[in-house]
Amino acid sequence: MDRLKLYNFERRIISLLYPNKCPFCGKIINSDKYMCKSCPKFLPYVNKPITPPENVSRLYACCYYAYRARTAVLSMKYKGLIYPVDAFALMMYKKISKEHAHALVPVPSGFMSVQKRGFSTAEKIAQRISWHSGVPVLKALKARDDKQEQKMLNMKMRFENARQSFYINDKADICGKKLILIDDVCTTGSTLSVCAELLLDAGAEEVIAAVFAKTVDLSRNKRESKRFPRKERLI
């Protein structure tokens, strides 16, 4: 039994005690489903290419960080729910399935974030993507113990903070490899840019990035905003 089949079997057992829920609306769903039937119609999908941050060749994103997509990210980050991880990983896998990479490199979470949440979000997502794709996870990056969260910092401060937050794992063999950086959300792109720079300086051939969500001010993007009824904007 491969790892994905084993995990899906574990999901069925766990759902007997803790019902499986749609990460986007909270509705109870079958244990073999990653989301309910209705939520895909309401997700703010990214349907056009995104300009990648510096040092990153291409950036893939599944959804804009808004509405139900934002709700799912927040439930993962601050409630420690694992349902969103499974859905994010499947959607991201479909986005990057045509890329032929040597390894997936998760952006590591800080020590305090892991302690609060119980897991590193990007690492869990990368693990699930690996089960779908067969591409191995390489923990080529490490976070410093005093890593500061980015959410309260402006753009300039984010770059400086990111530069001080990560370093290369000396045990990782990345020379000449094509790598895919994995993270949950891309805001300014500073974290992805700095991580990609570190990997390239350490000998990586190319660095691509994939995230579940990309922040955007949809209130200023009338074309995207019109895709969603008003009630969806309140979720």
Contact present, 61 and 182 (Cβ < 8 Å): no
- Please check whether residue 151 is in contact with residue 109, taking contact to mean a CB–CB distance below 8 angstroms: no
- CATH code of the region 42-234: 3.40.50.2020
Rounded Cα distance between 125 and 111, Å, is 18
**What are the extents of the domains in the chain?**
42-234
The torsion angle over the Cα atoms of residues 94, 100, 102 and 106, rounded to 10 degrees, is -30
Q: Name the pTM for this structure.
A: 0.87
Q: How far apart are CA 203 and CA 117, in angstroms?
A: 32
Instruction: Kindly report the number of other CB atoms within 10 A of residue 101's CB atom.
Output: 19
Per-residue confidence of the chain (235 residues) as pLDDT tens digits? 488 888 888 888 888 888 999 999 999 999 899 999 999 999 999 999 999 999 999 999 999 999 999 999 999 998 888 899 999 999 999 999 999 999 999 999 887 777 788 889 999 999 999 999 999 999 999 988 765 565 555 665 666 677 778 999 988 899 999 999 999 999 989 999 999 999 999 999 999 999 999 998 655 555 655 555 544 544 4
